[in-house]
Amino acid sequence: MAATPSARTAPRLRSHIRLLLCAALVTISGAACTGAPLPDVRPPDSATAYGPERPPVTLTVWHGWTDEREASAFQAMLDRFHLLHPNIGVRAVGGVTDSQIINGIRSEQNVDVVSSFTTDDVGLYCGSGAWVDLNPFLRSSGIDAAKTFTAPSLAYSAYHGDQCALPLLGDTFGLYYNKAMFAKAGIERPPRTLSELEADAAKLTVRAADGSLRVAGFLPDVDWYENAPDHLQSVFGIRFQDADNRSVLAGDPGVASELRFQSRMMAVLGGADEAQAFAAGPAAGDENSAANAFLTGKVAMAVGGEWTTAEIAADAPDLDYGTAPLPVADDRVAAYGSGTVTGTVIGIARTTRHSDAAWELVRFLTTDTGALTAFANAIHNVPTTYAVAADPALAADDRFRTFIAIAADPRSTSTPPSPNGGYYKSSFQRFVAAYEAGRVTDPQSALRALDREIDSATDQGREPTP
């Protein structure tokens, strides 16, 4: 009897399915093989990690600087290192972002020393071992980290005790104010509390004949320039997360304080729409350019990092301005003078084949007082070692000294490291932006939902328990 078509095709179909399953198995096996372990990196046996008797070696350093002035200053620092260690050559690659660092290490590219502009991914780098723990290296070189590095900078470069990075100069935030405008408005000194800031902003705000904003006393827009909530952490005393990386925004009085301030400041400027149109309009050019609204006199007071002092010197040398610590919430007067500290971090990539030489370079870049002072003078970043902060060669005028004092202030803090980068910061910033625009009807329940969302994302970033 002839087989029916279905009976004929069934075995063929089965063989096709078998073939497909085999192909899937092979490809999935291939996929599962991704991420082979890398060789262990061990600390050097002696304090001198890579002496002159060792064979010549060339290190590859990845860093984020692209601006010609800053990149040249970093290169000068590397040249200085090479003079001291002629057997260690250094090849620098600039403009590297964190995602490039992750991909570079994952794909085992030839990189020895890595540097990041943000501390957001320190948790990931330490937790995954992508950046090697430097504690054994510090011990072998006899460096007492707590006595060498400022407390906030040491905190933001470690994760749960794993010091996989070290600070390479820091950033902190202060208030820039236009002295000429202050004098014209009869204001004698920069504000120290938010109430004073609001009152001064109202006096400094100038409107055109049609009522539109010509000069904003202070722009509170959370997406504008350096107004991100994590930069203003010390102003309101926001904690973001507890020691277990649980989000605590809903119950944080600092968050409520920030929301109240945003509402009041927006009202000073005539409402969120007007303030945001001004922030997005011709008055507000790119922050890191000569069109910066503070440099062009369109804004009388602005939050800025210490590096802006160098930009003003280059782009608006005649600007009559001063700097001061950020004003604090009225119930936090005792915290005036402190700030939020973050900065550039540097470490050894686990892909390195020259860990001794790499440590020699990292140690030099993070602890050599002469080199760091010269670098700080060149790029106007705040020192992260006590020795540099006290170095008389640190060419700091009063305006830059404001930031050095903030960074050295023992009350200054840094944002908590997290296993999944800066998700908690960007989520909260989005929330504040929506609140400013009047799109949050019930802030408390929205904050509770945000806490849950951030906690889920944090858990997602953690290594699963086997």
Partner 1 sequence: MSAARTVRHDAARPVLPGGTPVHRSVRRVRRREMATAAALMGPWIAGVGLFVVYPLAATVYFSFTHYNMLDRPRFVGLHNWAFVLGHYPPFWTSLRNTLWLVAVMVTLRVIAGFGLAMLVVRVRIGGRLMRTALFVPYLVPPVAAALGFVYLLRPGDGPVNRLLGAVGIGGPGWFDDPAWSKAALTLLALWGVGDVMVVFLAALADVPKARVEAALMDGATGWQRFRHITLPEMSPTLLFAAITGVIAALQYYTQAMVASQAASGDLAAPGLTAEPGFPEQSTLTLTQTLYSLGFIHADTGAASVVAVILFGLSIGLTALLLRRRSGFAAGVLR
Binding site for partner 1 (CB under 8 A): 23-24, 27-28, 30-32, 34-35, 37, 63-67, 95-99, 102-103, 105-106, 116-118, 121, 124, 128-130, 223-225, 276-278, 280-283, 286-289, 420-421, 423, 426, 430, 433-434, 437, 439, 452-453, 456-457, 460-461, 463-464, 466
Asked if residues 447 and 249 have their Cβ atoms less than 8 Å apart, the reply is yes
Nearest approach in angstroms of CB 256 to partner 1 is 21
Q: Please identify, using beta-carbon distances, which residue of 30 and 410 lies nearer to partner 1.
A: 30
Strand segments, DSSP code E, in 119-231 are 166-178, 206-207, 213-218
CA 9 to chain centre: 62
Q: Please identify, using beta-carbon distances, which residue of 331 and 453 lies nearer to partner 1.
A: 453
Q: Please identify, using beta-carbon distances, which residue of 61 and 130 lies nearer to partner 1.
A: 130
Q: Please identify, using beta-carbon distances, which residue of 70 and 360 lies nearer to partner 1.
A: 70
Residue 127 burial by Cβ neighbours in a 10 Å radius (0-12, 13-18, 19+): buried
Q: Please identify, using beta-carbon distances, which residue of 271 and 281 lies nearer to partner 1.
A: 281
Asked if residues 41 and 105 have their Cβ atoms less than 8 Å apart, the reply is no
- Number of Cβ atoms within 10 Å of the Cβ of 184: 13
CA distance 277 to 421: 31
Q: Please identify, using beta-carbon distances, which residue of 131 and 149 lies nearer to partner 1.
A: 131
Nearest by Cα to 387 from 371, 403, 410: 371
Q: Please identify, using beta-carbon distances, which residue of 141 and 227 lies nearer to partner 1.
A: 227
Nearest approach in angstroms of CB 94 to partner 1 is 8
CA distance 414 to 284: 28
CA distance 447 to 58: 50
Nearest approach in angstroms of CB 104 to partner 1 is 10
CA distance 61 to 63: 6
Residues 400, 406, 408, 414: is their CA dihedral positive or negative?
negative
CA distance 406 to 400: 10
Nearest approach in angstroms of CB 327 to partner 1 is 24
Nearest approach in angstroms of CB 86 to partner 1 is 29
- Number of Cβ atoms within 10 Å of the Cβ of 235: 29
CA distance 346 to 385: 14
Nearest approach in angstroms of CB 137 to partner 1 is 20
Nearest approach in angstroms of CB 226 to partner 1 is 11
CA distance 455 to 317: 46
DSSP 327: P
CA distance 192 to 151: 24
Q: Please identify, using beta-carbon distances, which residue of 64 and 325 lies nearer to partner 1.
A: 64
Asked if residues 294 and 304 have their Cβ atoms less than 8 Å apart, the reply is yes
CA distance 293 to 288: 10
Q: Please identify, using beta-carbon distances, which residue of 58 and 72 lies nearer to partner 1.
A: 72
Nearest approach in angstroms of CB 281 to partner 1 is 2
Nearest approach in angstroms of CB 390 to partner 1 is 29
Nearest approach in angstroms of CB 42 to partner 1 is 19
Q: Please identify, using beta-carbon distances, which residue of 278 and 336 lies nearer to partner 1.
A: 278
